[in-house]
Structure 1
């Protein structure tokens, strides 16, 4: 059983380029984060949070009875998030497909240079086209997300005596998350510049590792910023559907970054470092060879004759 598992780990495109122990660790974490995410999605889908909070104001003989009333009041027979709505289905599809498709397209470019051949062999132009596709699909995803939030019901806080305070607090928290996510994501784009959106798959590498903000604090600032922006947008609109979709988006980002992009990127940079070292050794050896050839030519008055492979030297 373990031999089959190890063979699958070696051959799978998931975590390509990573050692076996790192693959096991990442897969265990993926299972953990997937479980937590699905639990959060089920909570947001089934629990009416405002209805549960109304029980905080009602008298109860004990904290246990209060929690019991909150659970009974919050869990609804009908789902808070209705997955049958077309806008929600469209948002789900674009959220899941966005990182999947651009990773598949980038891997296709790396394997067969399909985009580069399509634009005449220019890898920089191919990467520009790829960036345009990613931005266009991301814009489509944002549109579907906003439509799903707009057509689905928001939380009804009218039963709370502190409704105004709760609404203002949630909207303020959402606005803060949206601004923080925009700042983190924008700073990441600013630092990367032309190296945004998987340029390594196109043979375009950074000369040095970027260690300034936000990369000194976050491993994937653009993904983190985007997730915070979606959570903030959902809270500003008091939309449980938006929070549900934001959880799915965060999980999709985590899987794309940790299982596909990061290990493969490390593999590509390791190969690039080897190529650069080999080029440096060749360039360091070429001047010495040229000096020796010029010395021999100066001593004999003519260049040394080429010798066939295996021909013995003359005394």
Structure 2
């Protein structure tokens, strides 16, 4: 019980260092929630209506590239707003220690490897939900980093957010990192069944032929 009490005391000491009245923090929360919903429902809109391809002069490839630019740009904005938001937040004394900073560097490094290697394996089209645009893979990628994690890009991104928070000793950053993880979990629940449906439909069409 003494350990639990100490842990809870430390938890509340860190949590009280979050200023939820900050406009920048609120904006950061907005982008963390909005971005994954944007790319998921945007890609689904294309699959159901082909609207993006029509706007791209009937080119599915141009549509997916334009879509990837919008998603990538929103990601850069989200990351910039996140860093600006946590830098103006109070630094937690319990987090502002060398060990936590070292864990931050490790977390960011591992996360960056997962994100970059995922993009390398998937390519631009695969990274930005190209299967919703009609670009389906012949087989599932199973080597690294997909041999380690089912969703290395999402998990890697979460680790990068967490690493930044730990490096700067910001409780607000840890909170945002938790929200990032929660949103990715939600997106996976929306995305994976729909993607499976796309591939199932292709297999059914092959049988008919």
Common topology (TM > 0.5): yes
Cα distance in 2, alignment partners of residues 243 and 224 from structure 1: 15
Cα distance in 1, alignment partners of residues 126 and 34 from structure 2: 22
Match of residue 157 from structure 2? 226
Cα distance in 2, alignment partners of residues 94 and 275 from structure 1: 38
1:271 aligns with 2:201: yes
Match of residue 122 from structure 1? 59
Q: CA-atom RMSD, angstroms?
A: 2.0
TM-score, with length taken from structure 2: 0.92
Which aligned runs of 4 or more in structure 1 are off by greater than 4 angstroms?
Answer: 66-74
TM superposition shift of 1:89: 0.3
Q: Which has the higher contact order (CA 8 A, sep 6+)?
A: 2
Please, which runs of 5 or more residues in structure 1 have no aligned partner? 1-62, 158-162, 280-315
Cα distance in 2, alignment partners of residues 93 and 73 from structure 1: 28
1:176 aligns with 2:176: no
1:261 aligns with 2:191: yes
Q: 1:73 to 1:213 in 2, by over 3 A?
A: closer
Match of residue 121 from structure 2? 191
The number of residue pairs the alignment matches comes to 207
1:131 aligns with 2:68: yes
Match of residue 41 from structure 2? 104
Match of residue 81 from structure 1? 18
Selected match of 2:138 from 207, 212, 224? 207
1:1-315 to 2 correspondences below 5 Å: 64=2, 68=5, 71=8, 75=12, 79-157=16-94, 167-193=97-123, 194-257=125-188, 259-279=189-209
Q: 1:70 to 1:205 in 2, by over 3 A?
A: closer
TM superposition shift of 1:247: 0.2
> Does the CA-based 8 Å contact 2:115-2:156 persist in structure 1?
yes
Structure ID, larger Rg? 1
TM superposition shift of 1:71: 4.8
Cα distance in 2, alignment partners of residues 192 and 74 from structure 1: 39
TM superposition shift of 1:79: 3.4
> Does the CA-based 8 Å contact 2:17-2:89 persist in structure 1?
no
Cα distance in 2, alignment partners of residues 67 and 273 from structure 1: 53
Question: Whose helix proportion is higher, 1 or 2?
Answer: 2
Please, which runs of 5 or more residues in structure 2 have no aligned partner? none
